C-alpha cells in the first residue's frame, strides 16, 4: 500500500490534522469520483512507511512530486478547527492510549487529567503549512471569510484551506472550488461511536483553566487568522463563561465556614450527607435518586446555592471540592439525640433502575442485559462510581435516625419549624437536575432490548416502556428492600 509508485494517480491529498474533518473530506472526495489520499503530515507518512516496512527513504513530498508529473491539477486541502474542540475530540479519539483504565475513572478525573496534561500537549498545528513551506510558498496570513476558503496555486499544485466550523456549508464551498456538485459523506463522527455519551458528558461538565485563554488562546496566530473579529470575541466569551474558577476558591471556602453546616454518615465512613446545626436539619439521599436536586435544596436553604452554581455547572463539584472538605463532621447518633430533622429523599426503584443504567458507561448493554449482569453479580468490570450509583437506597438501620421520608416522584413537600421559629417548606422538586433525560411522547413501544448507545434519542415519556415481566422481576429481585421498605409499586412509576 505504501509503495509510492502505487500512489500514482492521486487527484486530491487531504493533508489535514487529526479531528479536523479529514475522514469526511477523504470519503467525500472518493464518493464524488476523485482519487483521494489522506495524510496528517510527513511524520505520519514516515510512521506508516515504517509500520508497513515500505519505502523507508521516501517522504510524502516524493508522492506529491510523483503525481505532479502527469501534468493534471493536484489538490492539497486542509481544514482549520478551533483549538479547544479539536483537542477534546483528539483526546477522546485516543483516550485508551492516553489513560490506563480510562473507563474506570469518573468524568471529573478525566477532565483533571486532560487539563493538567493534554490541553497543552495535543497538536494544534496547521498541516498545510509544512507542505506550503516545502514548495517555497508563504503560509496563509489571512482567511477569505466571504468565500470561506483560501486558495493558492503553484505550477499544477493547488493549495486549499477551509474551516471545520463551516462543515455544514462544505458541499457548497467545495462545489465552487471544484466547479462541480460535491455531495458530502460524513465519516469518523464521534456521535457514531460508543464513547459519544461519555464525550457529551465531558463537554457538559468541562471547565477550562483560565490561563489557557490568556496565555495560549489569545496568542494563537492560527486562531487570529482563521476567525473573524466577531468570531474571536464570541469564542473567547464562551470559554470565559466556562472557566474553572479556582482563583475564587478561598472566598467560596470562607462562605462555607461562615455557616453552621456539617457532614455526617450513616454506615460507610466517607459516604457523607450534609446538614445545618443552627437550622437543626440534615438531608440523606441516594445516588441517581434525586441527589442533585436534594443538594440544591439544602444549599439554597443555607444560602450557598449561588456559590455552588457559579463554581461549576455540575453541582457535585462544589460538594466534593469546596463544601465537604471544609465542614466539621458530626456523628449521626448525636444528631438523633438532639432531635435533628433528618430527612431522606427517595425515588421509585423501578424508575431509578432505568436512570442508573442510562448513566453508566462501562458497557453498551441493553437494559435487560445490564440487569442480568447486575442481578447475577457478573459486572465486576464496572468502575467504583457506577457500582456506587447502582446500590440500593435503603441503609441498614436508617429508620433509627430518619424522621421524614420525602418521595420525590410523588412531588411531596414537608413543612418544618426551624430552631429560630421560622416556618420552612422543604420542596426539593422545584429544583432541576442535568441528570434528567429528555423524554419523547412519540416513543410508545417497548425499548428494554435497545442497546445503550441506541437509546439516546429514544427515551419514552414513561419508563414503563423499558419493562416486560422478566425485567420487572429482575428489578424487584435486586431492589426488593427498597420496594418493600419504602412501599413502592411498579404501577405508580412515572
How confident is the model over 409-421, as a mean pLDDT?
87
Residues 283 and 170 grouped into a single domain: no
- Would you say residue 411 lies in a domain? yes
- The pLDDT of residue 96 is 61
Averaged pLDDT for residues 401-414: 92
pLDDT of 436: 55
Confidence of residue 53 (pLDDT cuts 50, 70, 90): low
Question: Which single residue is written with the C-alpha cell 461549576?
Answer: 312
**Are residue 176 and residue 223 in the same domain, yes or no?**
yes
Residues 30 and 124 in one domain: yes
Task: Please check whether residues 91 and 191 belong to one and the same domain.
Answer: yes
pLDDT tens profile 209-266: 878 888 889 889 999 999 999 999 999 989 988 876 554 688 899 999 999 999 999 9
Look at residues 207, 240, 273 and tell me which one is the last residue of a structural domain. Answer: 240
Under 8 Å between Cβ of 107 and 204 = no
pLDDT band, very low/low/confident/very high, at 180 (cuts 50, 70, 90):
very high
Contact between residue 213 and residue 177 where contact means Cβ atoms under 8 Å apart:
no
- Tell me: do 232 and 295 sit in the same domain: no
Residues 6+ apart with CB under 8 A from 47: none
At 434-466, the pLDDT tens digits run 555 567 778 889 999 998 877 866 788 889 999
| Cβ-contact 247, 210 below 8 angstroms | yes
Could you tell me if 406 and 426 are in contact, meaning their C-beta atoms sit under 8 angstroms apart? yes
Q: Is residue 492 part of a domain?
A: no
Number of neighbours of residue 321 by Cβ within 10 angstroms = 17
193 vs 485, higher pLDDT: 485
Do residues 184 and 301 share a domain?
A: no
101 near 95, Cβ under 8 Å? Answer: no
Q: How many domains does the chain have?
A: 2
Q: Distance between CA atoms of 343 and 352, rounded to whole angstroms?
A: 19
CB contact at 8 A, 55 and 4:
yes
Tens-place pLDDT, residues 258-289: 999 999 999 888 789 999 999 999 999 999 89
pLDDT tens digit string along 367-394? 999 999 999 988 777 777 788 889 999 9
Q: SS3 sequence, the chain?
A: CCCHHHCCCCCEEEECCCCCCHHHHHHHHHHCCCCEEEECCHHHHHHHHHHCCCCCCCCHHHHHHHHHCCCCCEEEEEEECCHHHHHHHHHHHCHHHHCCCHHHCCHHHHHHHHHHHHHHHCCCCCHHHHHHHHCCCCCCCCCCCCCCCEEEEECCEEEEEEEHHHHHHHHHHHHHHHCCCCCCCCCCCHHHCCCHHHHHHHHHHCCECHHHHHHHHHHCHHHHHCCCHHHHHHHHHHHHCCECCHHHHHHHHHHHHCCCEEEECCCCCCCCEEEECCCCEEEECCCCCCHHHHHHHHHHHCCCHHHHHHHCCCHHHHHHHHHHHHCCECCHHHHHHCCCEEEEEECCHHHHHHHHHHHCCCCCCEHHHHHHHHHCCCCCCCCHHHHHHCCCCCCCCHHHCCCEEEEHHHCCCEEEECCCCCEEEECHHHCCCCCCCCCECCCCCCCCCCEHHHCCCCCECCHHHHCCHHHHHHHHHHCHHHHHHCCCCCCCCC
Together in a domain, 121 and 230: yes
User: Are 220 and 313 within one domain?
Assistant: no
Cα separation, 151 vs 210, whole angstroms: 35
Q: Which residues pair with 451 in a beta bridge?
A: 366
How far apart CA 279 and CA 260 sit, in angstroms, is 8
pTM above 0.75, yes or no: no
Quick check: 52 pLDDT over 80?
no
Residues 334, 319 within the same domain: yes
Share the mean pLDDT of the chain: 88
> Which residues constitute the domain of residue 463?
247-485
Of 240, 267, 287, which one is at a domain's C-terminal end?
Answer: 240
Do 367 and 266 touch, CB atoms closer than 8 A?
A: no
Q: Is residue 442 part of a domain?
A: yes
Phi, psi (degrees; rounded to nearest 5) at 34: -100, 150
pLDDT at 338: 92
Q: Which residue has the cell 426503584?
A: 349
Asked if 382 and 242 touch (Cβ cutoff 8 Å), the reply is no
Which pLDDT value is given to residue 297? Answer: 93
Among 223, 240, 257, the domain boundary falls at 240
Q: Is the pLDDT of residue 92 over 80?
A: yes
207 shares its domain with 311: no
Same structural domain, 267 and 221: no
> For 264, how many CA atoms within 13 A lie in the half-sphere containing its CB?
25
Mean pLDDT, rounded, for 102-107:
75
Whole-number percent of the chain with pLDDT over 90:
57
Alpha carbon distance 111, 96 (integer Å): 15
Tens-digit pLDDT profile for residues 160-172:
999 999 999 999 9
Would you state the pLDDT for residue 1?
44
Is residue 55's pLDDT more than 90?
no
Of 274, 286, 290, 324, the closest CA to residue 428 belongs to: 290
For residue 302, pLDDT beyond 70: yes
In a domain, residue 282? The reply is yes
Phi (first) and psi of residue 112, to 5 degrees? -60, -45
Question: Is 491 within a domain?
Answer: no
- The backbone region for 101, taken as left when phi is positive above 0, alpha when psi lies in -120 to 50, beta otherwise, is left
Instruction: Give the Å distances, CA to CA, from 301 to 279, 318, 327, 418, 426.
Output: 9, 16, 16, 11, 9
* pLDDT confidence of residue 247: 45
Contacts of 59 (CB under 8 A, 6+ apart): 42, 45, 46
Grid cell at residue 32:
464524488
Q: Note the pLDDT of residue 231.
A: 96
Strands 157-163 and 150-154: antiparallel
Q: Which CATH number does the domain housing residue 389 bear?
A: 3.40.50
Longest dimension (CA), the chain: 91
Residue 10 and residue 63 in contact, taking contact as beta carbons nearer than 8 Å: yes
Grid-cell match 468541562, residue found: 206
**Same-domain check for residues 274 and 224:** no
Amino acid at each position: 500500500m505504501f509503495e509510492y509508485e502505487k500512489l500514482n494517480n492521486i487527484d486530491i491529498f487531504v493533508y489535514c490534522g487529526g479531528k479536523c474533518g479529514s475522514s469526511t473530506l477523504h470519503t467525500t472526495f472518493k464518493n464524488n469520483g476523485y482519487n483521494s489520499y489522506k495524510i496528517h503530515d510527513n511524520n505520519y507518512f514516515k510512521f506508516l512507511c515504517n509500520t508497513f516496512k515500505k519505502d523507508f527513504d521516501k517522504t510524502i513530498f516524493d508522492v506529491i512530486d510523483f503525481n505532479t508529473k502527469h501534468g493534471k491539477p493536484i489538490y492539497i486541502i486542509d481544514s482549520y478547527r478551533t483549538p479547544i474542540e479539536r483537542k477534546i475530540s483528539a483526546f477522546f479519539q485516543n483516550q485508551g492510549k492516553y489513560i490506563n483504565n480510562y473507563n474506570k475513572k469518573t468524568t471529573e478525573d478525566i477532565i483533571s487529567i486532560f487539563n493538567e496534561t493534554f490541553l497543552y500537549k495535543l497538536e494544534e498545528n496547521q498541516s498545510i503549512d509544512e507542505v506550503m513551506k516545502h514548495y517555497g510558498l508563504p503560509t496563509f496570513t489571512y482567511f477569505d471569510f466571504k468565500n470561506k476558503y483560501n486558495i493558492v496555486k503553484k505550477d499544477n499544485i493547488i493549495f486549499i484551506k477551509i474551516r471545520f466550523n463551516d462543515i455544514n456549508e462544505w458541499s457548497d464551498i467545495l462545489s465552487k472550488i471544484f466547479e462541480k456538485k460535491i455531495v458530502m459523506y460524513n465519516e469518523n463522527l464521534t456521535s457514531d461511536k460508543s464513547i459519544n455519551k461519555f464525550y457529551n458528558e465531558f463537554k457538559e461538565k468541562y471547565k477550562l483553566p483560565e490561563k489557557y485563554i490568556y496565555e495560549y488562546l489569545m496568542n494563537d496566530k492560527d486562531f487570529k487568522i482563521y476567525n473573524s473579529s466577531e468570531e474571536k470575541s464570541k469564542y473567547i466569551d464562551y470559554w470565559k463563561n466556562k472557566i474553572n474558577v479556582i482563583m475564587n476558591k478561598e472566598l467560596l471556602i470562607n462562605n462555607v465556614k461562615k455557616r453552621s453546616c456539617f457532614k455526617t454518615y450513616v454506615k460507610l465512613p466517607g459516604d457523607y450527607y450534609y446538614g445545618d446545626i443552627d437550622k437543626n436539619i440534615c438531608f440523606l439521599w441516594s445516588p441517581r435518586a434525586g441527589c442533585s436536586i436534594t443538594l440544591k435544596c439544602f444549599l439554597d436553604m443555607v444560602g450557598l446555592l449561588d456559590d455552588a452554581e457559579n463554581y461549576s455547572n455540575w453541582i457535585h463539584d462544589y460538594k466534593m471540592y469546596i463544601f465537604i472538605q471544609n465542614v466539621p463532621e458530626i456523628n449521626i447518633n448525636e444528631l438523633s439525640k438532639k432531635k435533628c430533622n433528618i430527612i431522606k429523599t427517595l425515588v421509585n426503584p423501578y424508575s431509578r433502575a432505568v436512570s442508573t443504567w442510562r448513566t453508566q458507561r462501562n458497557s453498551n448493554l441493553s437494559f435487560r442485559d445490564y440487569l442480568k449482569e447486575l442481578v447475577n453479580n457478573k459486572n465486576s468490570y464496572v468502575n467504583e462510581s457506577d457500582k456506587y450509583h447502582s446500590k440500593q437506597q435503603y441503609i441498614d438501620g436508617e429508620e433509627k435516625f430518619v424522621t421524614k421520608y420525602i418521595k420525590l416522584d410523588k412531588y411531596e413537600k414537608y413543612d418544618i419549624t426551624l430552631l429560630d421559629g421560622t416556618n420552612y417548606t422543604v420542596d426539593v422538586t422545584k429544583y432541576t437536575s442535568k441528570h434528567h433525560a429528555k423524554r419523547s411522547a412519540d416513543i410508545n413501544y417497548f425499548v428494554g432490548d435497545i442497546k445503550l448507545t441506541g437509546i439516546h434519542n429514544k427515551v419514552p415519556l414513561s419508563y414503563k416502556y423499558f419493562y416486560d415481566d422478566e425485567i420487572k422481576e429482575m428489578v424487584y429481585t435486586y431492589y426488593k428492600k427498597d420496594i418493600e421498605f419504602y412501599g413502592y409499586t411498579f404501577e405508580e412509576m412515572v
